[in-house]
Amino acid sequence: MTKRRLNKIRDADATKRKFLDAIGTILTQQGFSAIRTNNIARLLGKDKNLIRYHFGSLNGLLKTYIQDKDYWKPFFERFRFSDNPDAKEIEALFVGLMQENFKVFSANEEMQKIIHWQISEASALMRSISDERELEGDKLLKMATPYFRESGVNFKAIIALLLGGSYFMVLQHKAINGVICGIDLNSEKDRGNVLVAIEKIIEWSWQYAENNVNDKLQSTEKMTYEFEQLEKLSESLLKDATDPTAFSELEKELKRLERVLLKQLLELSNETQISNFLQVNLYRMGEICDSHFDPNSEGNEVAQAILNLMDHLTSQVEPLLPDTMSLPKLFCKQQSLAYQDKWQFLKNWLQKIGIDEQLLLITGLPFEQFTHDGKMRWHNYKYLKKFEKVFEELGEELPQDNYQLMHLLIGLGFNHVRFENYCTKAFVAKIDGLAGAEAKSILKTERTRLFQVNLYTKMVFDQDRKPVDEALAKWIDATIKGLADRPKEIQLNPLKLKTRLTAMQLALFEKTLYAHGFYDEPNLDVFSEKIACNFSTKGQDVLSAPSVKSKMYTKDVSAIKPLEPMVAAVLEDLRSFMG
């Protein structure tokens, strides 16, 4: 490389560094809102086109600057695990990582400004940089995940709180130079106390997770022994359901098992342990119960005996039952029959007051979907109980029309996809044919009403879908935006003729009339404009002139054929007037 070439590279590097330093100066002195191309060029006394030359764009300059200042990249390179890290090594790494973040962030003013920028303003650039950081961080978090599985502890949430807490403490201290919860970051002692707290929080989370996992394993091992005799008797009865001795022994075993389970339940000290205990043991009992269930049998004696034990056990701690717990098929059959009767009574009442048949079918879904097919969970039953109870408590104050019932279901968190579709169609019907401003006003009122609905429960019907009020609000927002983007011609002619023809049939028919001298228009372009302005067609309120003109020459027989009998009938009427 020649000396001249080397100097040119050095000059380019020096220029780039000046631009990067200028970003830091503006950011710390004026804030991120002042980072503009002209400001940077003015500060350096250089041509702003140099930014594009060296960095491609202002965004390219900003990305280079942030990557240059972001200490997380060297963190991820420095904080690495050995080939086979154990729990202690992983725990120690996260302690070191979180402590180092607090120390470095406290001393790095430019990084403070970057993070402040990141949390204050939506930016595709900041999002992309944050996503890159998250990808690297996730590699470390995945190493910890197996140690927290089934422990009731979400380690990612703990790290997120430590990270966010560190950022907030430093940023607030920088802004007001005051104390936070009695902690003064000007004090070396207080900063040291924060580092100790970070260490202890991570240490406690690992200890808690370890204890819970061990408790669960011990409970599972202990109950494996306790269930052995029950499973033997169950297998014997599956071979010969009429064996009275085996059934008598099973009843004795269930009573013994009940005493053991209740004793162990009382010894548990926290909600997580109780929930884990119930999930493990009720699952075992549920499997045995289902193995004896016959949907066509009236008795189901063995399944009923096991179900009685499960009922007694859960009645003491019902609020702690896991939502995902499978329900025994016999229990589902009994409850579904009871709720079918309740639904029939409610359905008759709603039919009497004239509720729309489609909304009626939708309202019955929580009752109809509660079956004994093995897919029902505790959440399904809890929701159905609340759903039915609200209707029962309302009594004579039940909704008197479709609109009232719709809002009652919203208040019940009924987020079934069919109900959401019904609501959106109801909103569309309300604004059908209205001008844009009036339609937007009605939709905004509906949006406000969504969040004023009387809430009867915080539960939702489908845990995998958004709450119904959020989903409908999002739909309304998108529809309002669509109304704002509509072409003005939508609102120009409130006296449009509504035809039952499709756009293709209308264009063909009107072109035929034009060709036979029915209209006195200068050309087809003008004629197409007038058709688009004065007609709305089947399934299409808004027509465009180019689209109308393009359809005038269709050869589609399926579009042409329905016109023939209509035109023939008109011709017949005309002939009748001629005698």
* Pick from 355, 349, 482: nearest CA to 422: 355
Point out the least confidently predicted range of 37-41, 83-87, 210-214, 348-352. 210-214
pLDDT over 80 (residue 80): no
Distance between CA atoms of residues 328 and 502, nearest Å:
54
Portion of the chain with pLDDT greater than 70, in percent: 92
Q: Residue 140 contacts by C-beta under 8 Å, 6 or more apart in sequence?
A: 76, 79, 81, 93, 94, 97
Q: What is the mean pLDDT of residues 523-552?
A: 83
The DSSP call for residue 536 is E
pLDDT tens digits, residue range 101-115?
Answer: 898 888 888 788 878
Given a contact cutoff of 8 angstroms between Cβ atoms, the answer to whether 257 and 282 are in contact is: no
Where are the extended beta strands (E) located within 426-537?
497-498, 535-536
The runs of H, that is alpha helices, within 240-300 are 244-267, 271-291
Given a contact cutoff of 8 angstroms between Cβ atoms, the answer to whether 456 and 508 are in contact is: no
Cross-strand bridge partners of residue 180: 183
Q: Residue 504 contacts by C-beta under 8 Å, 6 or more apart in sequence?
A: 551, 554, 556, 559
Distance between CA atoms of residues 30 and 39, nearest Å:
11
Q: Residue 308 contacts by C-beta under 8 Å, 6 or more apart in sequence?
A: 254
pLDDT value of residue 481: 83
pLDDT tens digits, residue range 364-382?
Answer: 999 888 776 767 888 888 9
Q: What is the mean pLDDT of residues 1-21?
A: 65
Distance between CA atoms of residues 416 and 472, nearest Å:
12
Given a contact cutoff of 8 angstroms between Cβ atoms, the answer to whether 534 and 526 are in contact is: no
Cross-strand bridge partners of residue 498: 536
pLDDT over 70 (residue 494): yes
pLDDT tens digits, residue range 200-256?
Answer: 999 998 888 877 655 554 554 455 556 777 778 788 788 777 777 878 888 888 888
Tokens of 111: 């990084």
Cross-strand bridge partners of residue 326: 377
Under the banding of pLDDT at 50, 70 and 90, the label for residue 321 is: confident
Q: What is the mean pLDDT of residues 475-483?
A: 87
Cα atoms found within 13 Å of the Cα of residue 428, Cβ hemisphere only = 11
Query: Mind spelling out the 3-state secondary structure of 112-150?
Result: HHHHHHHHHCCCHHHHHHHHHHHHHHHHHHHHHHHHHCC
Distance between CA atoms of residues 275 and 325, nearest Å:
10
| Helix or strand run (H / E) with residue 535 | strand 535-536
Q: Are strands 497-498 and 535-536 parallel, antiparallel or unpaired?
A: parallel
pLDDT value of residue 189: 92
Tokens of 82: 């050995």
Distance between CA atoms of residues 368 and 24, nearest Å:
63
Residue 156, CA distances (Å) to 71, 141, 268 in order? 20, 7, 26
Q: How many helices (H) and strands (E) does the chain have?
A: 26, 2
Sign of the dihedral defined by the CA atoms of residues 545, 548, 550, 552, in that order: negative
Distance between CA atoms of residues 448 and 468, nearest Å:
14
Point out the least confidently predicted range of 360-369, 378-387, 419-428, 484-493. 484-493
> Backbone phi, then psi, for 177, in 5-degree steps?
55, 40
The C-alpha angle with vertex 355 and arms to 349 and 358, in degrees rounded to 5, equals 120
pLDDT over 90 (residue 196): yes
Distance between CA atoms of residues 262 and 287, nearest Å:
20
Q: What is the mean pLDDT of residues 309-318?
A: 83
* Pick from 169, 165, 195: nearest CA to 182: 169
pTM exceeding 0.85: no
pLDDT value of residue 488: 46
CA distance between the termini of the chain: 105
pLDDT tens digits, residue range 35-53?
Answer: 778 778 777 777 777 777 7
